[in-house]
Amino acid sequence: TGAASMARTVLVAALASLLVSDRAHAACTYTSSTGQTYDLSGLSNQNFVVSDANTFQYTIAVCSPIVGGCNTNLKGSNIMVANAGACQSTLSKVSPYFCADLGNSPGVFSSNNDGSISLTYTGGANNICSTAADRRTIIKFVCGTGVGTITLINESPQCTYNFQWTTSYACPLTTTTTTTKTTTTTTMTTTTTTTT
């Protein structure tokens, strides 16, 4: 019947949604080269906004595209970038309006020498960059409290946007240590002969 078919469709859509959600959360974990596991899935599927002093605001998503996408307008174009992990736009008081895709989700995690981890988005807009390199975003996650704070550190080299995010989600969950123990057993047999 129509009602039963609709109920099955809704159930299948709900299950598919759960599977996609599970994949998104699974994709937002990282185990470092030292065996520490990080889970940033509590930050995924939402937008976070940080502004610099006067000109730009940055929208950042973690392990997922920016909700609503990044509507770029570089050099007169108006292109919606659905998979952008970071986006730069001018603040409303600045004219003309400017918006650029700063790299695509899901990004790649890496370990830093100081024990923190970074998430890098690459493949962003490359027009306006003097080096013609694609824009990219590097987010360094540092262990802190709560959802935390995001700070734009710099744009260096040009068109590489460096952020630091201090958050409890950047605290390692576990450390895996592998120890191998070798045991050697020596068996001695004694034979006694008695002569009468």
Euclidean distance between CA atoms 44 and 63, whole angstroms: 6
Query: Would you state the pLDDT for residue 171?
Result: 95
C-alpha of 162 from chain center: 14
Within 10 Å of residue 110's Cβ, how many Cβ atoms?
A: 14
Output the pLDDT for position 53.
76
What's the confidence (pLDDT) of residue 52? 83
Using CA atoms of 121, 19, 44, 10 in order, give the dihedral in degrees to the nearest 10: 120
Q: Digits of tens for pLDDT over the chain (196 positions)?
A: 443 433 333 333 332 333 333 333 436 999 998 899 999 999 999 999 998 877 888 999 999 999 888 866 655 556 677 888 999 888 766 666 677 889 998 899 999 999 899 999 999 887 677 766 788 999 999 999 999 999 999 988 788 999 999 999 999 996 555 555 554 444 444 455 555 5
What size, in residues, is the chain? 196
pTM here? 0.72
Q: How far is the CA of 52 from the CAs of 47, 57, 131, in angstroms?
A: 17, 6, 23
The pLDDT of residue 101 is 86
157: its two tokens: 């080299």
| Integer CA distances (angstroms), 90 to 15, 56, 63, 104, 108, in order | 39, 4, 24, 20, 27
Round to whole Å and give the CA distance between 145 and 136. 27
Q: What secondary structure does DSSP assign to 75-141, as a single string?
A: GG--EEETTBSEEEEE-TTSSS--EEE--EEEEEEEE-TTS-EEEEEE----TT-TT-PPPEEEEEE
